[in-house]
Chains A and B, each alone.
Chain A
Amino acid sequence: QVHLVESGGGVVQPGGSLRLSCAASGFTFSTYGMHWVRQAPGKGLEWVAIITHEGSIDYYAQSVRDRFTISRDNSRNILYLQMNSLRGGDAAVYYCVRDAGTSGTKYYMDVWGEGTTVTVSS
């Protein structure tokens, strides 16, 4: 069964850093592009970043560019999101999401994790 399990969320002060992880199972992780999507409390979905299946290419939403870094370890089936210089507006549930394409991005998302919560507060 396909599974994505996020971890690493928590409370962090403004300006602080946090690294989220997403453990994938039940599919060939190395053949799928992966996304991070976030949802602030009571708000809509916001796409954050994508990394290609082999990890060579990544793109970011303008709101997080130069502060967040998406990466992956295909030998361990783990996706990461390094978040630096965190702001109040970054507080959200962060979802790890699989792109539907194998060995090529399809730009839609077919499997979602349950999410991990990031709170930014002093």
Chain B
Amino acid sequence: QSALTQPASVSGSPGQSITISCTGTSSDVGAYDYVSWYQQDPGKVPKLIIYDVNNRPSGVSNRFSGSKSGNTASLTISGLQAEDEAEYYCSSYTRRSTLVFGGGTKLTVL
């Protein structure tokens, strides 16, 4: 099972919106609405920010949103803030009943 494909890095200025893509196949991202996103600050454990494509856990800012089209899922962060600078990972359930992560995207707030 190959890792999902994410851009290695994205950047944006405070107040702007950015989108991180997560491309899989018809055997994972395209097969189920079981895509989740995690935020990881340096030296910290990952934190769930989006589940089931576009749902936010309680306490997560509504500036974070998710979507999916075909084999590609996306995470959008609007109103970018300095505190959003982190590594972001997508994850998907697969037809083999396993999970797979993306390679991670480093978000830099300029």
> Which A residues are within 8 Å of any B CB, using their own CB?
35, 37, 44-47, 50, 59-62, 95, 100, 106-110, 112-115
A residues near B51, Cβ cutoff 8 Å = 100, 106, 108
**Contact, CB under 8 Å: A50 / B99:** yes
User: Chain A residues near B99 (CB, 8 Å)?
Assistant: 35, 47, 50, 107
Contact A47 B91 (CB under 8 A): yes
Interface residues of B in 43-76 (CB under 8 A from A): 45-48, 51-52, 57
Residues A108 and B45 in contact in the complex (CB < 8 Å), given A44-B89, A44-B102, A62-B1: no
Which residues on B sit within 8 Å (CB–CB) of A61? 1, 98
Q: Do A107 and B96 touch across chains, with their CB atoms under 8 A apart? A: no
A selection of 29 A-B contacts at a CB cut-off of 8 Å is A35-B99, A37-B101, A44-B3, A44-B87, A44-B89, A46-B3, A46-B101, A47-B98, A59-B96, A59-B97, A59-B98, A61-B98, A62-B1, A107-B32, A107-B34, A107-B36, A107-B99, A108-B34, A108-B36, A108-B48, A109-B36, A109-B46, A109-B48, A109-B91, A110-B48, A112-B45, A112-B47, A113-B45, A114-B45
Report the interface size class on chain B. 20 to 34
Is there a chain A Cβ closer than 8 Å to B103's Cβ?
yes
> Are A44 and B101 within 8 A (Cβ)?
yes
Question: Is B104 on the interface with A (CB-CB < 8 A)?
Answer: yes
Rounded to whole angstroms, the CA-CA distance of A54 and B49 in the bound complex is: 27
B93: nearest chain-A partner, CB-CB:
A107
- Inter-chain CA distance A102–B4, complex, in Å, is 27
CB distance from B65 to the nearest CB of A (A): 16
